[in-house]
Amino acid sequence: MVHGSGCTRDSFRAQSEAFPGSDAVALPGHPIGEALASVSAYSAWLSAHLKATLGTPAVVAGNSLGGAIAMRWALDHPDQAAGLVLIGTGARLRVSPDIFAMIERDWPACIATLVDHALGPAAPAELRERASQWHELVGAANTLRDYRACDAFDIMAEMSKLTLPTLVIVGDDDRLTPAKYARYLHEHIAGSRLEVIPDAGHLVMAERPAAVNALIADFLAKL
Cα distance between residue 148 and residue 204, in whole Å: 22
Amino acid found at 117 = H
| Residue ranges with strand state E in the chain | 58-63, 81-87, 166-171, 193-197
87 forms beta bridges with 63, 169
- Residue 71 has φ and ψ, to the nearest 5°, of -70, -45
- Asked if 163 and 192 touch (Cβ cutoff 8 Å), the reply is no
Cα distance between residue 182 and residue 187, in whole Å: 9
The per-residue pLDDT for 54 is: 81
pLDDT digits (tens, 9 = 90+) for 155-193: 999 999 999 999 999 999 999 999 999 999 999 999 999
Among 146, 62, 153, residue whose Cα is nearest residue 103: 146
What are the residue boundaries of the structural domains of the chain, listed by start?
9-222
pTM above 0.85, yes or no: yes
What is the DSSP code (8-state) at residue 60?
A: E
Among 113, 76, 89, 96, residue whose Cα is nearest residue 174: 89
pLDDT at residue 24 is higher than 90: yes
Cα distance between residue 157 and residue 154, in whole Å: 8
What would the 3-class secondary structure string for 136-184 be?
HHHHHHHHHHHHHHHHHCECHHHHHHCCCCEEEEEECCCCCCCHHHHHH
pLDDT digits (tens, 9 = 90+) for 67-99: 999 999 999 999 999 999 999 999 999 999 999
Sheet holding 166-171, edge to edge: 58-63, 81-87, 166-171, 193-197
CATH code assigned to 9-222: 3.40.50.1820
Cα distance between residue 10 and residue 175, in whole Å: 21
The per-residue pLDDT for 158 is: 97
pLDDT at residue 56 is higher than 80: no
